Copies of this chain bind each other. A is one copy, B any other.
Amino acid sequence: MAKSKLPRMSPAETEILQLLWQLGEATVQQTCDRLPRRRKIAYATVQTLLRRLENKGYITHRTEGKAHVFLPVAKREDVIKRSVSDFVNRLFGGDPIPLMHYLAEHGKISADDIEELKRLVGK
């Protein structure tokens, strides 16, 4: 089955989809509840974002009672691939090393984490 090219996802939409991946599935309400406290955003807005994500083909929903339960349909791995690659291209001209460096220096990364990376690379 072809990973048919999904239309671009906006930052706010990305944020919501990321929550959905974390929750597995969720209603509008549940999604709102999991938003970081900082992020003050109206119920109706989350709803719009979910609606758009569905139109774009990233998620779907089933109806349960009177509410919709949304769930991801796009593969996380695929979306991450596209997003990261796009991000690295724009901000680092395509070279991921500086990003790794930045993360290592400011990203609360432990030595153990690095060991784990070594294992991944070695493979």
Contact = CB atoms under 8 A, between A and B. Distances in A.
A46 to B, nearest CB: 14
Given A87-B87, A93-B18, A103-B84, A122 B117 contact: no
Interface residues of A, number: 45
B120 A105 contact: yes
A107 B105 CA distance: 18
Given A114-B117, A117-B114, A100 B91 contact: no
A14 interface: yes
Contacts of A96: 103, 107-109
Nearest to A10: B90
Contacts of A93: 18-19, 22
Contact of A99 (B11, B84, B101, B122): B84
Interface of A: 11, 14-15, 18-19, 22, 36, 80-81, 83-84, 86-94, 96-111, 113-114, 116-118, 120-123
